[in-house]
Amino acid sequence: MSFGDYIKDFHTHVLYVTNKFRKKNPDAVRRFAKAWLETTKLVLADKELMIKRAMKQLKFSRTVAEKAYRIETPAFSTTGRFSAKALSVIADGLVVTKMMKTKPDLRKAYTEEYLPK
C-alpha cells in the first residue's frame, strides 16, 4: 500500500530549517538545498544505481528495491517548490484533524528564498 494511492497531491520530502539558523547561516541553507536537489536529480537519473544501493545498504531484494523506487520517486521534486494543490491538501488536513479551526494560507509558512535561481 502506498500513501500516494489515497492522497495524490502531497509533499512528503520537505526541508525544514529554523528561522534562527537560516538568518545566521543563509549560505549553508542555500548549499544544502542545492545539494538536496542535485541528489534528487541523481536518484531520478540513475535508477539502476539507486536499486543497487537499496539492495546493498537496506538489504532489499531486487524486487523490493525496484518496487520502492517505483513508489517513492514520483514524490521527488527537482525544483524544491511547493505546488498550490498540495498545500491546499495539507491545509485541509489541518482542519479535518482539528489541529486548526480554519484553513490556513500555507504560502506564508515557507520561503523559496534559498532555492537555486
Say if residues 95 and 101 touch (Cβ distance below 8 Å): yes
Residue 30 lies in a domain: yes
Structural domain includes residue 44: yes
pLDDT tier at 107, thresholds 50, 70, 90: confident
Domain annotation covers residue 49: yes
Is the residue at 28 inside a domain? Answer: yes
How far apart are the C-alpha atoms of 54 and 62, rounded to whole Å? 8
More confident residue, 4 or 27: 27
Q: Write down the pLDDT at residue 2.
A: 74
Range of the domain at 18: 3-81
- At residue 9, the pLDDT reads 85
Least confident among 21-25, 99-103, 106-110: 106-110
By the 8 A CB rule, do 94 and 100 touch?
yes
Question: What mean pLDDT is predicted for residues 42-52?
Answer: 97
Residue 1 pLDDT > 70: no
How many whole angstroms from its chain centre is CA 40?
10
Q: Residue 99 domain-assigned? A: no
**What's the domain count of the chain?**
1
Calculate the average pLDDT of the chain: 93
Q: Helix 47-57 vs helix 62-72: angle between axes, to the nearest 10 degrees?
A: 120
Q: Is residue 114 part of a domain?
A: no
3-class secondary structure for the chain? CCHHHCCCCCCCCCCCCCHHHHHHCHHHHHHHHHHHHHHHHHHHHCHHHHHHHHHHHCCCCHHHHHHHHHHHHHHCCCCCCCCHHHHHHHHHHHHHCCCCCCCCCHHHHCCCCCCCC
Residue 92 lies in a domain: no
Q: Is residue 70 part of a domain?
A: yes
